[in-house]
Structure formats: structure tokens, C-alpha cells
């Protein structure tokens, strides 16, 4: 039985100065790196995901755009729930990982959203074309800890998919940042309601899970 850490979408466009900046994103990248320095060796595999959208088209309605790069010509503009400004376009600086995230700890890279909305890292594939769920099952991963951006979107969807795939999911509340505070709180509640766990990474040295099991 193995354990994984999943780092979702810590990308330039989701951090300060990016196209879809989430407050606290840059500081989060630093905190995740600090966490990795202390705890990466406790994981059998560390996975990082990236949103990786096509430069052309609206990526299945994900981008609120008609013909201007920033969505300003779109009749209604982005609603920041289902439609978004252009972000994380493949092979652009905005799609790169935030520089404060230390990639030397990352074993597997997953990309998602090519031509479509894809919030969950489980919708993504590795460079070798494998689905994330197969990456986990091939390694006998039974538990996944999740950190990253955005609590109310990628983290939420990844955590729910993980739970529904039968994984023991734990979201570190102090190692995620969300777009909207209310929907971020609701997302964590939804994860708990569906059988996942949430808590702080700094609860104690062993990061105690509910029920008392220290991992
Ligand atoms: C995400 C908003 C728009 C995410 C992706 O991955 O959290 N959020 N697209």
C-alpha cells in the first residue's frame, strides 16, 4: 500500500500577476516547497498537474472569448464559475509551474484541459499518456494527499474523483488556495461529505488523520 502527494495547478497563471490570479498563490508555492522538503520522502510518488489549454478556440466553452485574447470581446465576459479568462495556454509562461515550486520532488507530471475544461487532475494524462488513476493503481497507491490551486475547482474536482476512485483522500487546508472563499469552504465540506478528509498539514509532526492514525 503506497501513498501519493498530488500538487494541483501551481502555475503562473493561477498566481499573482497571472491571467487568473488566485490570492496567495505565490506564497502557496513556497509553502508547498517547504512541505516537500520536510515530507516528500514519506510519499511513494509525488504527482503535479497542470492546466494545459489549446491556444485556439475556447477549449470547449472554458474560455470566455470570441476573438480577443483576454476575453474582453466576449458578450458576457467570464463568469469565474464556468467560464474564465484565457489562461494556462500550452507552452506559454502562464502554463508553467510557479518558479517557487521545487520540481525536483515531482516524480510524475500530468497535463489536462487540451481543448476542454478539465478541473480534475484525474482527467489528465502523463507525458507517457497514462491516466492518473492508472499511475496510482500501478503503484498500489491507496491514499492521496492533495495540495494546490484552486480549492474550489481543481482541488475540489481532484479530491472528489479520488474519493470516487476508492482512494483515501486528504486535503491539506493550509496548503490550498481558492478563488472564492465561500465556494472554497463549500468544496472542502463536499469532500468531507463524500468521504474524504481535510485538515492542516501542521497539526503535528505526523500529520494526524481523523481517527487518530498518524501517518
Ligand atoms: C481551474 C479555474 C479555471 C483549476 C482551472 O484548475 O482550479 N480553475 N480553470
CATH number assigned to the domain comprising residue 139: 3.40.50.850
Determine the Cα–Cα distance for residues 162 and 102; give it in Å rounded to an integer: 24
The answer as to whether 145 is a domain residue is yes
- The one-character DSSP state at 98 is P
* Per-residue pLDDT reduced to its tens digit, 44-71: 999 999 999 999 999 999 999 755 555 5
Among the listed residues 13, 152, 154, 168, the single catalytic one is 154
Range of weakest confidence among 74-83, 119-128, 204-213: 204-213
pTM score, two decimals?
A: 0.92
- The one-character DSSP state at 61 is T
The answer as to whether 121 is a domain residue is yes
The answer as to whether 147 is a domain residue is yes
The answer as to whether 9 is a domain residue is yes
Is residue 88 flagged as an active site residue?
Answer: no
Q: What is the pLDDT of residue 69?
A: 52
Cβ proximity of 205 and 173 under 8 Å: no
Domain range enclosing 175:
2-53+97-199
> Checking DSSP bridges between strand 168-177 and strand 125-126, what pairing results, if any?
unpaired
Count the domains in the chain.
Answer: 1
Determine the Cα–Cα distance for residues 193 and 91; give it in Å rounded to an integer: 37
Ligand 1, atom 5: closest residue by C-alpha: 119
Q: Which residue has the higher pLDDT, 1 or 3?
A: 3
The answer as to whether 213 is a domain residue is no
The answer as to whether 75 is a domain residue is no
Q: What is the pLDDT of residue 1?
A: 86
Cβ proximity of 214 and 204 under 8 Å: yes
The answer as to whether 74 is a domain residue is no
Determine the Cα–Cα distance for residues 136 and 144; give it in Å rounded to an integer: 9
Amino acid at each position: 500500500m503506497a501513498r501519493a502527494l498530488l500538487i494541483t495547478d501551481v502555475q503562473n497563471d493561477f498566481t499573482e500577476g497571472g491571467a487568473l490570479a488566485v490570492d496567495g498563490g505565490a506564497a502557496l508555492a513556497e509553502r508547498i516547497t517547504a512541505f516537500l522538503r520536510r515530507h516528500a520522502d514519506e510519499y511513494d510518488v509525488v504527482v503535479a498537474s497542470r492546466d494545459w489549454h489549446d491556444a485556439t478556440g475556447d477549449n470547449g466553452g472554458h474560455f470566455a472569448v470570441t476573438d480577443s485574447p483576454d476575453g474582453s470581446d466576449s458578450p458576457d465576459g467570464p463568469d469565474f464559475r464556468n467560464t474564465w479568462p484565457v489562461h494556462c495556454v500550452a507552452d506559454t509562461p502562464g502554463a508553467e509551474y510557479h518558479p517557487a515550486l521545487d520540481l525536483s520532488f515531482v516524480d510524475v507530471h500530468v497535463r489536462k484541459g487540451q481543448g476542454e475544461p478539465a478541473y480534475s487532475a484525474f482527467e489528465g494524462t502523463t507525458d507517457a499518456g497514462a491516466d492518473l488513476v492508472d499511475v496510482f493503481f500501478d503503484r498500489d497507491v491507496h491514499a492521496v494527499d492533495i495540495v494546490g490551486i484552486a480549492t474550489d475547482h481543481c482541488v475540489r474536482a481532484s479530491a472528489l474523483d479520488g474519493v470516487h476512485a476508492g482512494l483515501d483522500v486528504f486535503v491539506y487546508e493550509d496548503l490550498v488556495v481558492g478563488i472564492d472563499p465561500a465556494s472554497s469552504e463549500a468544496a472542502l465540506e463536499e469532500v468531507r461529505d463524500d468521504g474524504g478528509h481535510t485538515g492542516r498539514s501542521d497539526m503535528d509532526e505526523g500529520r494526524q488523520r481523523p481517527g487518530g492514525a498518524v501517518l
